[in-house]
Amino acid sequence: MADRRFDIVVFGATGFTGALTAEYLARNAPAGTRWALAGRNASKLEQVRGRLAAIDPACADMSLLHADADDVSSLRAVAEATRVVITTVGPYIRYGEPLVAACADAGTDYVDLTGEPEFVDRMWLRYHEQAERSGARLVHSCGFDSIPYDLGVQFTVEQLPEGVPISIDGFMRTKASFSGGTYQSAIEILGGLRSSAKLARERRRLEGDPPGRRVRGVAGKPHADEFARGWVAPFPTIDPVTVLRSARALDRYGPDFRYSHYVVVGPLPVLVGLGAVVGVAAAVAQIPPARDALLKLKSSGEGPSEAQRAKSWFSVRFAAHAGNGDGTDVRTEVRGGDPGYGETSKMLAESALCLANDDLPPRAGQLTPAVAMGAALRQRLVAAGIEFKVLDGI
């Protein structure tokens, strides 16, 4: 792809997270990086370019490309013009497929920040083999969904002996505000639980299990956990699914790998209240008119203020054991700032820079962040201020 016009194109830069991602690139992309913005509204793109030029004057001459999620030919032109596409245009189940198709056909690397399991499975079923043939790396969930967990588990595994059973529990704690786009994606996920489960079963049937190895997710039960510092509940998001896919693809996770994923909710009454709210929202989202009403409550493009983001943070702790009975115990943590926007835009941009510039394993198709980039991306994120550390004491 050396003859491509651009190294990276940001699709959706006029949206909230897309603009933050573009700003991160303006501050941190290496000199000489050829990158551009893509979107359907030329005047809004020009406004974003103006803000970027205030960060880096070289951005004043940045190319602006027309691209519309409903215009397949425009997306094909973008995919054929660049080595890597970043897209923040969601909900992806509604708007994402045409760009995935274009990248899979053109052999163009692709990153997004989706947390939508149905979308990821549908893209695997439809475009994984095509991407393998073209050489495209389709890497979903390159934001807070699912990099802290996927790379955090991989980092934890690397602290453990090889060739033995490994068991890991992950505990996510965060203080953050979320945008209209995140809210809309969450409602779409809840409304599509049945179809998502059907696609997941079909994918698992076709993927099969890694030969000679066992990889399994264990739901776990709500409980008080001293290491997690509060009551925890199983958290069936896309994140444990991503972790398990990395484990199936990489032998380093051992002959028998088990992972459980929890959210830390604080005191018991908070856990009970959260469960009730999620249950009601999931039930309401199954009814199309009610789901449409929920989607109208918060529009895409809205997001927390800079002051709110400055007070936000996340921590993911991992408790790991290697061996049968007697063995090795390790405790690790991934920690960063504002998870939904500041750190997500950083993770997304660094993922694209990693694919564009780093010496990575020769893999193609739909890949997880750990499988596609692994330690190379982790090193970038550490340099950018996200902590990956082994904790003292057990």
How do residues 14-67 score in pLDDT, each as one tens digit?
998 999 999 999 999 999 999 999 999 999 999 999 999 999 999 999 999 999
CA angle 103, 104, 106 (to 5 degrees): 60
- SS3 category, 36: strand
Confidence of residue 351 (pLDDT cuts 50, 70, 90): very high
- Which residue is it, tokens 């550490």? 382
pLDDT over threshold 70, residue 86: yes
**C-alpha to C-alpha distance for 243 and 231, rounded to whole angstroms:** 22
Model confidence pLDDT, tens digit, residues 13-24: 999 899 999 999
- Which residue is it, tokens 């699914």? 241
- Higher pLDDT pick, 288 / 333: 333
237, 263 Cβ separation under 8 angstroms: no
Give the total residue count for the chain. 394
Confidence of residue 177 (pLDDT cuts 50, 70, 90): low
- SS3 category, 14: coil
pLDDT over threshold 60, residue 268: no
pLDDT of residue 60: 96
**C-alpha to C-alpha distance for 192 and 196, rounded to whole angstroms:** 6
Q: Which among 114, 143, 372, 111 is positioned nearest to 245, based on CA atoms?
A: 372
pLDDT of residue 89: 94
User: Which residues sit opposite 350 in a β-bridge?
Assistant: none
pLDDT of residue 183: 58
pLDDT of residue 194: 75
pLDDT of residue 203: 94
pLDDT over threshold 80, residue 234: yes
pLDDT over threshold 70, residue 299: no
**C-alpha to C-alpha distance for 152 and 146, rounded to whole angstroms:** 10
pLDDT of residue 58: 95
- Higher pLDDT pick, 181 / 37: 37
Confidence of residue 186 (pLDDT cuts 50, 70, 90): low
- Which residue is it, tokens 């959210």? 263
Domains and CATH numbers, the chain: 6-144+344-375 (3.40.50.720), 147-338 (3.30.360)
pLDDT of residue 185: 56
**C-alpha to C-alpha distance for 354 and 378, rounded to whole angstroms:** 10
What is the rounded average pLDDT of the residues 67-95?
A: 96
Please state, in angstroms and as integers, the Cα–Cα distance from residue 211 to each residue in 124, 132, 205, 254, 371, following that order: 20, 20, 14, 12, 17
Confidence of residue 296 (pLDDT cuts 50, 70, 90): low
pLDDT over threshold 70, residue 127: yes
Confidence of residue 232 (pLDDT cuts 50, 70, 90): very high
- 137-139 and 230-234: which strand pairing? unpaired
pLDDT of residue 278: 55
Least confident of 24-38, 109-123, 285-299, 343-357: 285-299
Structure tokens, 67:
């691209």
Structure tokens, 340:
């939904």
170, 241 Cβ separation under 8 angstroms: no
The interaxial angle of helices 374-383 and 342-357, nearest 10 deg, is 130
- Higher pLDDT pick, 196 / 384: 384
Confidence of residue 140 (pLDDT cuts 50, 70, 90): very high
Least confident of 15-29, 65-79, 183-197: 183-197
254, 264 Cβ separation under 8 angstroms: no
- Which residue is it, tokens 């934890």? 156
**C-alpha to C-alpha distance for 346 and 189, rounded to whole angstroms:** 24
Confidence of residue 90 (pLDDT cuts 50, 70, 90): confident
pLDDT of residue 306: 73
pLDDT of residue 312: 86
Least confident of 135-139, 176-180, 234-238, 375-379: 176-180
The interaxial angle of helices 193-207 and 180-191, nearest 10 deg, is 80
pLDDT of residue 7: 98
pLDDT of residue 32: 94
**C-alpha to C-alpha distance for 172 and 253, rounded to whole angstroms:** 21
What is the rounded average pLDDT of the residues 90-110?
A: 96
Which 8-state DSSP code applies to residue 264?
E
User: Which residues sit opposite 29 in a β-bridge?
Assistant: none
